[in-house]
C-alpha cells in the first residue's frame, strides 16, 4: 500500500508568530496520490462513520480522475460546508477511524481530500434551480446547525430568514475557531453561496429579547428552527476567579477572532497579551486559546489539564500543532485557587497533582487529588476553557419549551420541541461537533418540510 500523503504544514517557528493558516493544502499531485489510496470499498465503512453519511468513495472516485467539480457535487448532496468540515472535523474519530485501511495501515486522509475538492471549486457557483413555495421559515442562530437547516430548506423552496444575535454570521466557526485553522474568507465564501441561493440573514437580533418566538409566528413564519448553540462558559468556582486578567475562553477567542484583535491597527479591539499564560482545559477550545496566546506574543503558555493527555477531547492534530508551537502540557494537574497581586491582577495559580481512578459516567478515568502535592505556577494571565453550557436566553424566555437538567432543549425523534412548529438542533440539544450540528440541521430540515406539508 502506498504511504499516506501528509498535508504540508507551515514551519512552527514561523507560524507561531502569525495568524495565517497552518495547513497549506494539497498540491494536485499530492491530492492524486492520496486519492488513489482509497480502495473504493463496496461496503464503505467510512461513510457509516460520517454523521451526515457523505458518499466518501463517491467523491474520492472523481478526485482520482482529477475532477473536483464532480467531487464537490457528491459532497454537496450531504454538506453545505465542505471547506469548513475538511478543516475542522475530528475525522480521526469518525470517517477515518472507520476506514478499512486504518486496521493495518494509515487511513485515507478523507478530510484533506474534502478540503481539496472544496478549495479547488471555490469559484464555481451552486447551479441549483429552486421552485419557491412561498412558505416562510425562521432559523435562530447562524452556526453550522442553523446554516445547514436553512440551506436545505431553501433548496426545498422555503423562504428562509436566519436571525443572529451577534454582528456577524457563523457561530463558533467565526467567533471560536481561529483564523489559523479556519480562515474567515473560507467561511465567508460558504455563507455567500447560501445568500445567493436566497438565504436572508438578519444580524444583531437576540431572539427572546429583541423579539420573541411569538413575534416570529405573528410575522407569518410557519415553523422555527432553534440553533442557538452552547455559549455559556463554565467557571471553576474556586477562590480568586474574579481577579483581573482571568478570561473565559469564549471572551478571549471572540475578541481575537470575531472582533479581530490580532489585526491591530485595522481593528482596535483591546485584548491582553500576557507573557506567562496558563490555559486550563483539554478540549479544542483550550488548544485554540493556547495557540492564540502564543501568537499574541506570550513567552510561555502552559496548558493545565486534570486528566492525562490520552483523555484530552481535543483533536489529535490540534494537540500536535500546539506542542510544535511551544505550548507546554501540564497534565494530571488541577487548579485549586488563583493568587492575586496588590492590583487585584492574577500573578500565580495554585495547583494540585492528580492520579487517575475508575472510569466515570463519561467513560474516562476519574481524576483524584494526590494528598500533599500542591504547588504554584506563575501566571500574568489565565484563560479558562473548562467547557460550555447551552445558551439559556431563548429557552428560558420561551414559555412551554421543555428543557432537561443540563439546560438542553428537549426534542422528539423529528427534532420537534414541546411547542408545535418549533424545532431545535445542534449544541442546544446536546451536540458537540460541527458535523453533528450539521447532521441535526439536515434532519430537522426534512422534518420541518414534512410537518409543513401536512
Ligand X SMILES: Cc1cc2nc3c(=O)[nH]c(=O)nc-3n(C[C@H](O)[C@H](O)[C@H](O)COP(=O)(O)OP(=O)(O)OC[C@H]3O[C@@H](n4cnc5c(N)ncnc54)[C@H](O)[C@@H]3O)c2cc1C
- Nearer to ligand X (CB atom), residue 37 or residue 112: 112
Q: How far is the CB of 151 from ligand X (least distance, A)?
A: 12
Minimum separation from the CB atom of position 278 to ligand X (A): 17
Is the Cα torsion angle 256, 262, 265, 266 positive or negative in sign? negative
Per CB under 6 A, the list member of 437, 445, 447, 448 interacting with ligand X is 437
Please list, residue by residue across 308-343, b when 16 or more beta carbons sit within 10 angstroms of its beta carbon and e when fewer do: beebbbbbebbbebbbbbbbebebbbbbbebbbeee
Q: Is 164 in the site for ligand X (CB under 6 A)?
A: yes
One of 56, 71, 166, 304 touching ligand X (CB under 6 A): 166
Binding flag, residue 417, ligand X (CB under 6 A): no
Query: What are the C-alpha distances in Å from 288 to residues 172, 204, 261, 325?
Result: 12, 26, 15, 12
**CA angle (209, 230, 164) in 5-degree steps:** 45
For residues 94 and 316, the answer to whether their CB atoms sit within 8 Å is no
How far apart CA 447 and CA 137 sit, in angstroms, is 13
The piece of 120-128, 153-161, 344-352, 432-440 that touches ligand X (CB under 6 A) is 432-440
Instruction: Give whichever of 191 and 335 is closer to ligand X, judged by the CB atom.
Output: 191
Q: Using CB under 6 A, count the residues that bind ligand X.
A: 42
Q: How far is the CB of 422 from ligand X (least distance, A)?
A: 13
C-alpha cell at 342: 496588590
Closest CA to 190 of 342, 326, 80, 286: 80
* Mask for 187-226, x = binds ligand X (CB under 6 A): -------------------xxx------------------
Instruction: List b or e across 223-238, with b for residues whose CB sees 16 or more CB atoms inside 10 angstroms.
Output: bbbbbbbbbebeeeee
Q: Which of residues 357-376 bind ligand X (CB under 6 A)?
A: none
| 176 is an interface residue for ligand X by CB under 6 A | yes
| From 135, 160, 434, 447, residue interacting with ligand X (rule: CB under 6 A) | 434
Query: Helix, strand, or coil here: 328?
Result: strand
Give the nearest distance from C-beta 441 to ligand X in angstroms. 7
Alpha-carbon torsion 303, 304, 310, 311, what sign? negative
- Contact call for residue 145 and ligand X (CB under 6 A): yes
Cα separation, 342 vs 81, in Å, equals 49
From candidates 21, 23, 109, 391, binder to ligand X by CB under 6 A: 391
The secondary structure element, H or E, covering residue 340 is strand 333-340
Nearer to ligand X by Cβ, of 35 and 191: the residue is 191
Identify the residue whose cell numbers are 495565517: 20
Distance of CA 212 to the CA centre of its chain: 27
Q: Is 433 in the site for ligand X (CB under 6 A)?
A: yes
Q: Which of residues 288-317 bind ligand X (CB under 6 A)?
A: 288, 315
Q: Which of 330, 393, 410, 452 binds ligand X (CB under 6 A)?
A: 393
- 3-state class (DSSP) for residue 335: strand
Kindly state the smallest distance separating residue 93's Cβ from ligand X, in Å.
Answer: 10
- Binding of ligand X by 140 (CB under 6 A): yes
Site string for ligand X, 65-104 (x = CB under 6 A): -----------------------xxx--------------
CA–CA gap between residue 163 and residue 228 (Å, rounded): 10
Task: Give dist(CA 158, CA 161) in Å, integer.
Answer: 10
Residue from 112, 159, 161, 285 in contact with ligand X (CB under 6 A): 285
CA angle 438, 439, 441 (to 5 degrees): 60
Residue given cell 459516567 in the structure block: 361
What is the contact mask toward ligand X in residues 233 to 272, using x (rule: CB under 6 A)? --------------------x-------------------
CB of residue 355 to ligand X, shortest distance in Å? 29
Please identify, using beta-carbon distances, which residue of 94 and 351 lies nearer to ligand X. Answer: 94
Contacts with ligand X by CB under 6 A lie at: 88-90, 140-146, 163-166, 171-172, 176-177, 206-208, 227-229, 231, 253, 284-285, 288, 315, 391, 393-394, 426-428, 431-435, 437
Amino acid at each position: 500500500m502506498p504511504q499516506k500523503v501528509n498535508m504540508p504544514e507551515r514551519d512552527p517557528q514561523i507560524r507561531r508568530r502569525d495568524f495565517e493558516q497552518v495547513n497549506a493544502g494539497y498540491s494536485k499531485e499530492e491530492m492524486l496520490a492520496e486519492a488513489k489510496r482509497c480502495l473504493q470499498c463496496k461496503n464503505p465503512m467510512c461513510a457509516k462513520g460520517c454523521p451526515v453519511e457523505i458518499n466518501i468513495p463517491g467523491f474520492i472516485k472523481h478526485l482520482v480522475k482529477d475532477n473536483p467539480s464532480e467531487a464537490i457535487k457528491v459532497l454537496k448532496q450531504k454538506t453545505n460546508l465542505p471547506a469548513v468540515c475538511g478543516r475542522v472535523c475530528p475525522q480521526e474519530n469518525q470517517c477515518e477511524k472507520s476506514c478499512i485501511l486504518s486496521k493495518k495501515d494509515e487511513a485515507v486522509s478523507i478530510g484533506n481530500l474534502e478540503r481539496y475538492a472544496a478549495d479547488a471549486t471555490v469559484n464555481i457557483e451552486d447551479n441549483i434551480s429552486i421552485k419557491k413555495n412561498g412558505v416562510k421559515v425562521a432559523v435562530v442562530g447562524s452556526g453550522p446547525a442553523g446554516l445547514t437547516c436553512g440551506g436545505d430548506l431553501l433548496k426545498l423552496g422555503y423562504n428562509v430568514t436566519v436571525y443572529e444575535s451577534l454582528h456577524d454570521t457563523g457561530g463558533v466557526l467565526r467567533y471560536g475557531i481561529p483564523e489559523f485553522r479556519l480562515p474567515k474568507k473560507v467561511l465567508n465564501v460558504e455563507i455567500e453561496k447560501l445568500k445567493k441561493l436566497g438565504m436572508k440573514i438578519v444580524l444583531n437580533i437576540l431572539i427572546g429579547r429583541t423579539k420573541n418566538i411569538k413575534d416570529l409566528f405573528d410575522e407569518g413564519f410557519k415553523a422555527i428552527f432553534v440553533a442557538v448553540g452552547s455559549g455559556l462558559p463554565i467557571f471553576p468556582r474556586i477562590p480568586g476567579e474574579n481577579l483581573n486578567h482571568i478570561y473565559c475562553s469564549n471572551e478571549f477567542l471572540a475578541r481575537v477572532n470575531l472582533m479581530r484583535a490580532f489585526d491591530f491597527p485595522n481593528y482596535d479591539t483591546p485584548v491582553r497579551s500576557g507573557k506567562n499564560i496558563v490555559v486550563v482545559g483539554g478540549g479544542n477550545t483550550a488548544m485554540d486559546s493556547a495557540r492564540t496566546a502564543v501568537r499574541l506574543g506570550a513567552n510561555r503558555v502552559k496548558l493545565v489539564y486534570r486528566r492525562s493527555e490520552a483523555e484530552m477531547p481535543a483533536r489529535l492534530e490540534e494537540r500536535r500543532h500546539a506542542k510544535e508551537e511551544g505550548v507546554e502540557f501540564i497534565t494530571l494537574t488541577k487548579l485549586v485557587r488563583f493568587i492575586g497581586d496588590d492590583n487585584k491582577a492574577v500573578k500565580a495559580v495554585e495547583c494540585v497533582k492528580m492520579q487517575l481512578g475508575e472510569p466515570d459516567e463519561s467513560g474516562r478515568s476519574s481524576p483524584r487529588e494526590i494528598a500533599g502535592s500542591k504547588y504554584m505556577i506563575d501566571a500574568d494571565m489565565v484563560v479558562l476553557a473548562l467547557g460550555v453550557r447551552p445558551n439559556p436566553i431563548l429557552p428560558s424566555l420561551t414559555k412551554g419549551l421543555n428543557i432537561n437538567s443540563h439546560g438542553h432543549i428537549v426534542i422528539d425523534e423529528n427534532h420537534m420541541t414541546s411547542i408545535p412548529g418549533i424545532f431545535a438542533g445542534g449544541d442546544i440539544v446536546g451536540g458537540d461537533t460541527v458535523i453533528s450540528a450539521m447532521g441535526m440541521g439536515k434532519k430537522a430540515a426534512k422534518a420541518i418540510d414534512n410537518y409543513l406539508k401536512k
